Amino acid sequence: MTKTILLKNRPKGRPTTSDFEFVTEDNDPKISDGELLLETTYVSVDPYLRGRMSDAKSYVPPFELNKPIQSGVIAKVVASKNSKFNEGDFVSGMLDWKTKQVSNGEGLLKVDGNKAPLSAYLGILGMTGMTAYLGLNEIGKPKAGETLVVSGAAGAVGSVVGQIGKILGLRVIGVAGTDEKIEMLKSKFGFDAGINYNTTKDIKGAIAEAAPNGVDIYFDNVGGPISDALLFNINKFARIVICGAISVYNETELPKSISVQPFLVKNSALMQGFIVSNYSDKFPEAMKHLSGWLSEEKLTYSETIVDGFDNIPNAFIDLFDGKNKGKMIVKI
Footprint of ligand NAP (CB under 6 A): 46-48, 128, 131, 152, 154-158, 176-178, 181, 221-222, 243-247, 274-276, 319-320, 322, 324, 328
60 φ/ψ angles, rounded to the nearest 5 degrees: -130, 145
Shortest reach from residue 251's CB to ligand NAP, in Å = 10
Shortest reach from residue 236's CB to ligand NAP, in Å = 26
286 φ/ψ angles, rounded to the nearest 5 degrees: -60, -45
Shortest reach from residue 36's CB to ligand NAP, in Å = 27
Shortest reach from residue 86's CB to ligand NAP, in Å = 31
Q: How far apart are the first and last CA of the chain?
A: 14
Q: Which is nearer to ligand NAP, 46 or 216 (CB)?
A: 46
Q: Which of 227, 228, 192 is nearest to 212 (CA)?
A: 192
Q: Which is nearer to ligand NAP, 59 or 237 (CB)?
A: 59
Q: Which is nearer to ligand NAP, 102 or 287 (CB)?
A: 287
- The CA angle 25-18-65, to the nearest 5 degrees, is 65
Shortest reach from residue 309's CB to ligand NAP, in Å = 20
Q: Which is nearer to ligand NAP, 113 or 225 (CB)?
A: 225
Q: Which is nearer to ligand NAP, 58 or 213 (CB)?
A: 58
Shortest reach from residue 246's CB to ligand NAP, in Å = 4
Q: Which is nearer to ligand NAP, 22 or 232 (CB)?
A: 232
Shortest reach from residue 24's CB to ligand NAP, in Å = 29
For the chain, give the number of residues: 332
Q: Which is nearer to ligand NAP, 142 or 326 (CB)?
A: 326
Rg of the chain over Cα atoms, rounded to whole angstroms, equals: 20
Q: Which is nearer to ligand NAP, 79 or 130 (CB)?
A: 130
Shortest reach from residue 137's CB to ligand NAP, in Å = 14
Q: Which is nearer to ligand NAP, 31 or 149 (CB)?
A: 149
Shortest reach from residue 247's CB to ligand NAP, in Å = 3
